Amino acid sequence: MGMTMTQKILAAHAGLEYVEAGQLIEADLDMVLGNDVTTPVAIHEMEKFNTKEVFDKDKIAMVLDHFTPNKDIKSAEHCKCVREYAGEHNITNFFDVGEMGIEHALLPERGLVVAGDVCIGADSHTCTYGALGAFSTGVGSTDMAAGMATGKAWFKVPSAIRFELTGKPAKWVSGKDVILHIIGLIGVDGALYKSMEFVGDGIANLSMDDRFTMANMAIEAGAKNGIFPVDDLTTAYMKEHSKKAYTVYTADDDAQYDETYTIDLSTLKPTVAFPHLPENTHPIDEVGDIAIDQVVIGSCTNGRIEDLRIAAEILKGRRVKKGLRVIVIPATQAIYLQAMEEGLLKIFVEAGAIVSTPTCGPCLGGHMGILAAGERAVATTNRNFVGRMGHVDSEIYLASPAVAAASAVTGKISCPCELE
């Protein structure tokens, strides 16, 4: 019996010739990630271990991104804890204000994760790096601590679901629409502890930013990880951003999958997830008349340069609807700088939006855009749970940057095609 792409990566890192779904293994780690919320917990757990040193200062990344720049005393204390630990242990990949970005955009940009790696992170959206052909998954802070100390982690080998992507997406349809469609199809627990493996000739029509978005939201279907095959586009991205050696793994022809879904990308429409679950999806032409109070364009899901370009294309020469708040958050300093050099930030400001420093901010109800009772937001973020972005009586509608920007102009959830 053959192995899936994910199973091959895990087998190699466990020093085994073969693994199968359900098997418990211990695997070597190529990267251990934490942020300003989860790393302090891991540090306090590390203090309980006999070991006083990390397994490899080059294979740990600590990114201050959730409540930074610090919004209050508690967040300042958290960041101080991480800052002091990183200094004491000479952590190579420590990213503070001025260098930091949203972690899941920053690590690929800095070339810290490449194809064939095994990466764990004390953040559920660590699955983002599957876009590069890596096995990456979110863990708890205790597992992060164990990983920092030993360079190893225990896994139950996941079974897999195969998503055969065909065709070319229409204009205004992006990776965000594809993954929302899939989550709407299988549900928020449709891939519970499984690997979502994306294959098919349709992948050639998806940019790297599309793939990062899709792998990022695999967790919203309950998946252990999402993963893409390594093609020429992946290779070009890694060569541009990383000096690390990478390994390409491919699924065996006789690999076993629990299910296979075939999705013709050309049939998809811009898609919106209504409150209060990412599975509550509707194509844009079935949304109806829903007025909104706020738009957020950013996050680890959709704060990359391609996302900002799409939003700017729609907002150029237009104005944000009177009474509406629009917050644009570039995901990293490099993306911020590129957006500035391309004139995108000027477009946003002239349209009546604000531009924030890189931060997770409003996505998790942290800061920079908290909702009051009764308010509605369209967000390019990844979760729309009750109270996710503020008051429990607020509502979040998940959408692509294109839909978010169009909605900013009209003041209601809208298709960008309405502005053409």
pLDDT of 296 > 80? The answer is yes
Q: In the predicted model, what is the mean pLDDT of the chain?
A: 96
pLDDT tens by residue, 161-188: 999 999 999 999 999 999 999 999 999 9
CA atoms within 13 A on the CB side of 119: 35
Which pLDDT does position 51 carry in this prediction?
Answer: 77
Mean pLDDT of 395-418: 96
Same domain, 279 and 256: no
Domain that holds residue 244: 5-263
- Whether residue 201 sits in one domain with residue 314: no
pLDDT of the residue at 116: 97
What is residue 22's predicted lDDT score, i.e. its pLDDT? 96
pLDDT of res. 48: 85
Supply the pLDDT for residue 47. 84
Identify whether residues 128 and 231 lie together within a single domain.
yes
Q: Is residue 245 located within the same domain as residue 379?
A: no
360 CB burial (10 A radius; 0-12, 13-18, 19+): buried
* Residue 420 confidence (pLDDT): 76
| Local confidence band at 1 (pLDDT 50, 70, 90 cut-offs) | confident
CATH at residue 114: 3.30.499.10
Domain boundary among 218, 242, 263: 263
Average pLDDT over residues 48-70: 92
Average of pLDDT values for 119-135? 97
For 188, phi and psi rounded to 5 degrees? -70, -15
* Per-residue model confidence as pLDDT tens digits over 339-371: 999 999 999 999 999 999 999 999 999 999 999
Number of structural domains the chain divides into: 2
279 and 411 inside one domain: yes
Which DSSP helix (H) or strand (E) runs through 366?
A: none
Q: Is the pLDDT of residue 72 over 90?
A: yes
- Please check the confidence at residue 100 and state whether its pLDDT lies above 90: no
Residues 297 and 249 in one domain: no
User: Does residue 295 share a domain with residue 232?
Assistant: no
**pLDDT on residue 217:** 97
What digits encode the pLDDT tens for the residues 209-265?
A: 999 999 999 999 999 999 999 999 999 999 999 999 999 999 999 999 999 999 999
Q: What's the confidence (pLDDT) of residue 419?
A: 80
pLDDT cut 90: percent of the chain above it = 96
- Please say whether the dihedral angle defined by the alpha carbons of residues 383, 176, 268 and 134, taken in this order, is positive or negative: negative
Pick the closest to residue 200 from 253, 162, 233 (CA basis): 162
pLDDT band at 418 (very low <50, low <70, confident <90, very high): confident
* Partners of residue 294 on adjacent β-strands: 325, 377
Residues 232 and 340 in one domain: no
> In the structure, what pLDDT confidence band is assigned to residue 59 with cuts at 50, 70 and 90?
very high
Question: Which of 263, 284, 300 is the endpoint of a domain?
Answer: 263
Could you tell me if 243 and 283 lie in one domain?
Answer: no
Output 212 or 50, whichever has higher pLDDT.
Answer: 212
Angle of the 141-150 helix axis to the 39-46 helix axis, nearest 10: 50
Q: Are 113 and 244 in a shared domain? A: yes
Q: What pLDDT does residue 49 have? A: 82
Q: How many CA atoms within 13 Å lie on the side-chain side of 169? A: 21
pLDDT of residue 302: 97
pLDDT of residue 52: 80
pLDDT for 345 equals 98
**Do 164 and 227 lie in a common domain?**
yes
> Does 38 share its domain with 170?
yes
- Look up the pTM and report it: 0.95
Residue ending a domain, among 243, 263, 283, is 263
Whether residue 46 has pLDDT greater than 90? no
Do 153 and 143 form a contact (C-beta atoms < 8 A)?
A: yes
